[in-house]
Amino acid sequence: MSKKFIKAQDYVNTLRKTKSEYTKDVPSRLAKVYGGKDKRPKPDYFRESSFLYIRSYNGDIGVRPFSGIQFWKSPDINISPLGNSATTTTELVAGQTYTIRCRLNNRGDLMIPYPKVEFFLTDPTLGFNTTVAEILGLTQLPAILLPASNNEVRFNYTVPASEAGHKCLFARTYSFSPLDKPFDLHALNPRIDRHIGQKNLNFIAQATPYSFNLVHQVNANETIEFRPMTKNAVLDIQHPALKELKVTTLKKKEMLSKIKIVLSARTSHEVSMKKRKAKYFITTSGKGISLERQAAIHKKTDAILKSVQAGKGSHQKFKKQLKTFNDMNRRAALTKMQIQIPDFGMRKGAAVGFEIINRNTLNGKIKGGITIVAMGN
């Protein structure tokens, strides 16, 4: 080993020792400085990390995991026709070019140079996994994302004929320096990962068919529920198209209980569906991880995520423990379904909203959702 290398190594060790002593000594000094009669607020402790996230709802500050929150209407993700950013849509026309915009947020103490963003464009989906989808594209923020700031990534996309129609959009962001990335390669679940955002909002004419996918484990025990929305809940979406519609509260709730789910394609696994009012109980079976094993993996994973959020370590620290969760998400299955949007008796220009909510009964958590704004015709 050369003398220069040894000298450099000694210098680095000295810096590490100084840093360690500094972090031990500073809190007691600050207590004396800010503990006087004036009661000045203490400065925040510097955490040597970034905190990159995409909001799942208004007021989101990146805390994960969460439950009971409808996360599929991210305010940070929007699609607009090229050159018309004032208009947003999730219905794409073949041959047209659109600008996909995703706002990134950094609540950490370190800047993030040129964070990356991946986009996944799919048919409307309950739950999602990269193993059953194709990536739309990869881009990056053409700037440095400073601490306590946000900025917007833009990506232009020309729609081929195969991708026209109503769509669901996922965005996943990450950085390697500083290291700030999703903890799972396959699962795209905004409820447990702050790096992922989803836009699953469709405007559909009443009395028309609507197709969607259910992404699940081969062996699954889940529910799909149709839930009415109030006028205020629909307006809170703040979609530009709502300005031209007279939105009302969905009063004919019994209409939702009449919705019938049918399978629109063959599956390699068995599917059983039982209906109770506006809720379907769905069981699938095949060669896959048992329900009992899945429940244990979900319980263990939620405990790890809560520990990470509490500052007891990073995802890297629990990498081995999370391996079973990662392996489980490699084996996702897909079931194609279709419903008929009810005829609510609305005239042209009127609209009501309802949610399609998918819940995994193994852990009681909402797994996915779709917001439908039904329009008169």
pLDDT at 1: 62
Residue spans of the domains in the chain: they are 52-375
pLDDT computed for residue 46 by the predictor: 62
8-state DSSP, 206: T
* Residue written as token pair 């889940």: 222
What does the pLDDT read at residue 37?
65
Contacts of 126 (CB under 8 A, 6+ apart): 212, 213, 214, 215, 224, 356, 358, 367, 368, 369, 370
Burial of 5 (0-12, 13-18, 19+ CB in 10 A): exposed
The per-residue pLDDT for 375 is: 95
Task: Convert the pLDDT of each residue in 195-241 to its tens digit.
Answer: 999 999 999 999 999 999 999 999 999 999 999 999 999 999 888 88
* Helix (H), strand (E) at residue 202: strand 201-205
Contact status, residue 104 vs residue 74, Cβ threshold 8 Å: no
Ordered mean pLDDT values, 10 residues apiece, the chain (377 residues): 79 80 70 67 71 96 91 94 81 90 95 96 90 88 96 94 87 95 92 95 94 96 97 91 92 89 96 96 96 96 90 85 92 95 95 97 95 94
Bridge partner residues of 298 (DSSP): none
CA distances from 166 to 55, 104, 247 (A): 22, 25, 21
Beta-carbon contacts of 317 under 8 Å, excluding residues fewer than 6 positions away, are none
The 3-state DSSP composition of the chain as helix, strand, coil percent (nearest 5) reads 20, 35, 40
Q: What gap in Å lies between CA 224 and CA 190, rounded to an integer?
A: 19
Contacts of 97 (CB under 8 A, 6+ apart): 81, 82, 156, 157, 158, 159
pLDDT value for 180:
95
